[in-house]
A and B are shown apart, each in its own frame.
Chain A
Amino acid sequence: MNAVAEAPEVAQVPEVARVRVPDRSWRNEARAIKVVWHRELIRFSKDRMRVATTLLQPLLFLFVLGSGLQNLSGAATHGVDLKTFMFPGILSLAVMSTAMFSAGSIVWDREFGFLREMMVAPVRRSSIVIGKCIGGATVASFQAIAVLCLAWAVHIPYDPLLILGLLAMMLLLAFTITAFGVMVAARIKQMQSFFGVMQMIVMPMFFLSGALFPVSGLPGWLAVLNRIDPLTYAVDPTRRVVFSHLDVSEAARRTLDPGVTWWGWHLPVMFEVAVVFVLGIVMLGVAIWEFSAND
C-alpha cells in the first residue's frame, strides 16, 4: 500500500472459523424470537431491584389497604377476608406492572442504541416484537408465581388446578399487556416519558377494573368505564377461578363474585379469556406494523 504510513503489524489470528449467513428461513426467525426472549430472561434475572420494586406496590395494596379496609367492610363481605377478595386484582396488578416494565425496555434499548443492533439484523421485525412480547409474558409470569406464594396468607388453598388456572390466566394477561406496552413504546423516544405514560395508563386501568371492588351495582358512569377497561376481563375470570375453590356462603359469592355483565348478559369465563386474547393479538399486530413501518 503506501510507504509513508507505518503499517501496523498483522495480528496472529487463530485458524479462521468461516461462517456463512444462511438465507431467510422460518428456522432463523424462530431462533431470533428465541434469542430476544432469552435476553429478557437474562436481564430480568440480573435486575433484582426491579423484581423487588415491582412487587412492593401490589403488596402494599394487598396487606396495608386490604387489612385496613377489612375493619370497615367486615359485615358487607359476609365473613370473607377482604384480602382474599382483592387477591386476584393484586395478582393482575403485579403482572401488569412487570409486563409494562418489560415492554418499556424497548424505549431503553432505543436510547442506548441496542435497538439498532436488532433492527439491522437480517430477520423480520415481527420476530423481534414477538420475542419481546413472549419474553415480557414469561418474566411477568415469574412475578405472578412470586405473588402466588403468598396465597396462603389470604386463605386461598393451594389446589393444583387453581394454581394452573391462575398461571394460565396471568400468562395470557402478561402477553396482552406486553403487546400493549410495546405498541405504546414504539412511539416514545425517552424513558422518562414512558414511565409517565405508564403511570397514566396502569393506575386508571387498575382502579377501574374491579380489582378492589365488585363490579355489580356500580353507578352508571363507572359501570361503563369498567366494561371498557380491558383489565376487567382478566380480573373477573381470575376471581371466579379463586372463588370456585373457596368454601363461602352463597350470599358472599353473590356480592363479591357477581361476574361481568353486558346489558344483563353474564359473560362466560371463556368469552372473557377470548376478549383478552383477541386484544393481545390485535395490539401485537399494531406493534409489529409500527416497528416495520418506521424505518
Chain B
Amino acid sequence: MADATPVAIDVDELKKSFGDVDAVRGVSFDVPTGEVFGFLGPNGAGKSTTINMLCTLVTPTGGTARIAGHDVVLERDAVRRQIGLVFQDPTLDGYLTAAQNLRMHAELYGVERSVLAPRMRQMLEMVDLWDRRDAQVLTFSGGMRRRLEIARGLMHSPRVLFLDEPTIGLDPQTRNSIWTYIRALQETEQTTIFMTTHYMDEAEFCDRIAIMDRGEVVALDTPTALKASVGADRVMIRTGDDAAAIETLAERFGIEATMAEGAVTLFVPAGQEFVPRLFAELGVSITSVQVSRPTLDDVFMNYTGSTIHDAEADTSSDQGKIRARAMAGVRR
C-alpha cells in the first residue's frame, strides 16, 4: 500500500507554535517519490521545526503530514520505519567503531540478519569508509563522520531520507562526494530526499526547491523555473551617497532599489545595457558596478527581500537589539 502511493511526502497546512511564537505558520507541499527536494531559508525560518515534525520528533499544533502514506502523528512508528535521518549535529557513538555504529542501527530497525552484512558493506563502500570499518569513530574527521551518518541513515533502505544541513562545515571535496551519493541513491533505490541547506550553489542540484521565510513557504519550483521567475539581472552598485542613489532610481527610473550586503541593489531586465544609462543619469558618484545573471540567491532575495546572508545577520542583530533593550530597561 505504501509503495503504491506516488507521493512520498504530503504536507497540508502544517503548523507549529511554541507558546506565542509561531515557528511554522501553515505550510503545504507534496514531494513525489524519488525527488530530491531542497528546503531553503535563513536560520529561524522554521526549516528545522518542519523537518522535526515530518520525522515525528515534534508534534504539530495543526495540519497534517503524511510520509509514504502514513500520518506522522497517528502512525508514528510506521513513519519511523520509512525514514532515515541525518541530523545537523552528529549522533554517532564515538566509542564504537564505524561497523558497530551501523550494526547497532540495523538492530534497532530490525534489519534482517541475512542482509545485514552485505548491506553494511555496500553502504560503507559507497561512502568510502569500508577500509576504516573497524576504527573507532572518535578517530574520524568531521567529513568522515558525516559520511558515516549518511551510510547509517541508509542502512534500513528508507523510503525518505531527511538530511538537515548535510554538508555544513565540510570541505568542497566532501560536499561533492556527498552529492554523488545522494544522486546515486536516487537512481538505485528511488529514495526520496528531503534536505535543508544554506548553500545556494547546492540548492541547484535539487529537483525542486521550497523557500521558507518566517514560518511560511514563499516559493516552490524547480531551480530553473525559480530563476526564470526573477527574470532580471542583478545590478549592485557602490556609490558616494546610497540614500540619494536609491531616491534618484525611484524617481527617474521608476526602479525600487534596496541595500544588500552593503551595496545598492536593483533588478533590471538587461543589466549590461542599463549600466551606461545609470552612469549618465544617476547624478551620484559610482565607485563600482557588478552585474550578474539571476542566481538562486536572487530568487531568495526576490521572495524574502534579503539575501540569505543578510537574513541571518538580521536575525542575530535583532537578538542583539532585544538584549540591548533589555539591559537598558534594567539600567532605568
On chain A, which size bracket covers the interface? 35 or more
Query: Could you tell me the distance in whole angstroms from the C-beta of B166 to the nearest C-beta in chain A?
Result: 14
Question: Hey, which chain B residues are within 8 Å of A47, CB to CB?
Answer: 95
Alpha-carbon distance A109/B94, docked complex (angstroms)? 10
Are the C-beta atoms of A11 and B77 separated by less than 8 Å?
Answer: no
Are the C-beta atoms of A121 and B59 separated by less than 8 Å?
Answer: no
Residue A149 lies at the interface, judged by CB distance under 8 Å to chain B? no
Chain A binder among B4-12, B81-89, B258-266 = B81-89
Are the C-beta atoms of B179 and A46 separated by less than 8 Å?
Answer: no
Question: Hey, which chain B residues are within 8 Å of A159, CB to CB?
Answer: none
> Which residue of the partner chain A has the closest CB to B79?
A122
| Contact status of A113 and B87, CB under 8 A, knowing A11-B181, A19-B156 | yes
Are the C-beta atoms of B107 and A35 separated by less than 8 Å?
Answer: yes
Residue A250 lies at the interface, judged by CB distance under 8 Å to chain B? no
A and B contact pairs by CB, cutoff 8 A, 10 listed: A2-B223, A2-B224, A16-B122, A17-B115, A18-B115, A19-B155, A25-B110, A32-B107, A39-B93, A114-B92
Question: Hey, which chain A residues are within 8 Å of B59, CB to CB?
Answer: 295
Alpha-carbon distance A8/B185, docked complex (angstroms)? 13
Tell me if A's interface is mostly helix, strand, loop or mixed.
loop
Residue A217 lies at the interface, judged by CB distance under 8 Å to chain B? no
Question: Hey, which chain A residues are within 8 Å of B227, CB to CB?
Answer: 4
Question: Hey, which chain B residues are within 8 Å of A114, CB to CB?
Answer: 91-93
Known: A17-B118, A18-B157, A28-B110. 4 other contacts (CB 8 A): A13-B184, A116-B57, A122-B81, A122-B108
Residue A5 lies at the interface, judged by CB distance under 8 Å to chain B? yes
- B151-189 vs A, Cβ < 8 Å mask (1 yes, 0 no): 000011100000000000000000010011101110111
Question: Hey, which chain A residues are within 8 Å of B198, CB to CB?
Answer: none
Question: Hey, which chain B residues are within 8 Å of A119, CB to CB?
Answer: 57
Residue A3 lies at the interface, judged by CB distance under 8 Å to chain B? yes
Question: Hey, which chain B residues are within 8 Å of A4, CB to CB?
Answer: 204, 223-224, 227
Question: Hey, which chain B residues are within 8 Å of A23, CB to CB?
Answer: 81
Q: How many chain B residues have a CB neighbour from A under 8 Å?
A: 58
Residue B105 lies at the interface, judged by CB distance under 8 Å to chain A? yes
Residue B289 lies at the interface, judged by CB distance under 8 Å to chain A? no
Query: Could you tell me the distance in whole angstroms from the C-beta of B3 to the nearest C-beta in chain A?
Result: 10
Residue B304 lies at the interface, judged by CB distance under 8 Å to chain A? no
Query: Could you tell me the distance in whole angstroms from the C-beta of B101 to the nearest C-beta in chain A?
Result: 9
Are the C-beta atoms of B91 and A113 separated by less than 8 Å?
Answer: yes
A residues 107-124 near B (Cβ < 8 Å) are: 109, 112-114, 116-123
Residue B40 lies at the interface, judged by CB distance under 8 Å to chain A? no
Residue A14 lies at the interface, judged by CB distance under 8 Å to chain B? yes
Are the C-beta atoms of A14 and B157 separated by less than 8 Å?
Answer: no
Residue B90 lies at the interface, judged by CB distance under 8 Å to chain A? yes
Residue A247 lies at the interface, judged by CB distance under 8 Å to chain B? no
| Contact status of A113 and B107, CB under 8 A, knowing A11-B181, A19-B155, A122-B77 | no
